[in-house]
Every structure is written in structure tokens, then in C-alpha cells.
Amino acid sequence: QVQLVESGGGLVQPGGSLRLSCAASGSIFSIANMGWYRQAPGKQRELVAGITSGGSENYADSVKGRFTISRDNAKNTVYLQMNSLKPEDTAVYYCNAYVAAMLLRQSRDYWGQGTQVTVSS
């Protein structure tokens, strides 16, 4: 079936940068909206950034000016460039995408497994 595989998380010092990647694989016909969510311990999952199939972007107020979302449709991949990282950015980051699969029964919203981002000195 369709899978979303994330990479790029890790430990970084405040002010540092990380680039997250999420690649969709499987029998994919097309991918609509894609986005990044995060969840910190004791908090609800929140939308960090989203991007439409046409490339329109939106961001949470807390990350505007620091994070950039992008996508490569030829590679079925979405990226999150994170700059000027702060301790409050620490969370598990999840990739999300609505995938229209070759098999209709597999067409649905998909989530990645999550990747840990820790910002600490």
C-alpha cells in the first residue's frame, strides 16, 4: 500500500536548522494537499505548514518567517526547511498527505510515522 516515509529529524541547538523530508511511495495516481504537523508532550497535534497541489502555502503564526514548506511533485515528496529553531519547536513532526491511489480503496489521508525534532543546548 501507499506509505509516507519521513527523514531529517534530530537534535539541534537553538538557532540551528533542520530539513525534514517526506516521500510517498506505492501505487500513486496523484497527491492533493500535503502538510506537516507536530505534537509536543502533553499538547495536541497542530498544523505547522501546508501546501496545496498548486503550490499555495500556509503556516502557523509561530513558525512564519522561519519555516518553509515545499514539494516536488515528480518525486512525490514534501519538505520542511526549519531555520532559527527554538526550544519550543521541540516535538514529533508528522507528514500528512491526501493520496489518490491507483486502487480506489487505498485513496485516503495518509500519515507518516513521525520524526523527533529536539531543540536544546
Summarised one tens digit per residue, pLDDT across range 77-118 is 999 999 999 999 999 999 999 999 999 999 999 999 999 999
Residue 31: the pLDDT is: 93
Summarised one tens digit per residue, pLDDT across range 64-75 is 999 999 999 999
**Phi, psi (rounded to 5 degrees) for 113:** -80, -15
**CA terminus-to-terminus distance, the chain:** 40
25 with 2: CB under 8 angstroms? Answer: yes
Residue 40: the pLDDT is: 97
Residue 1: the pLDDT is: 83
> Chain-centre distance of CA 51, in angstroms?
10
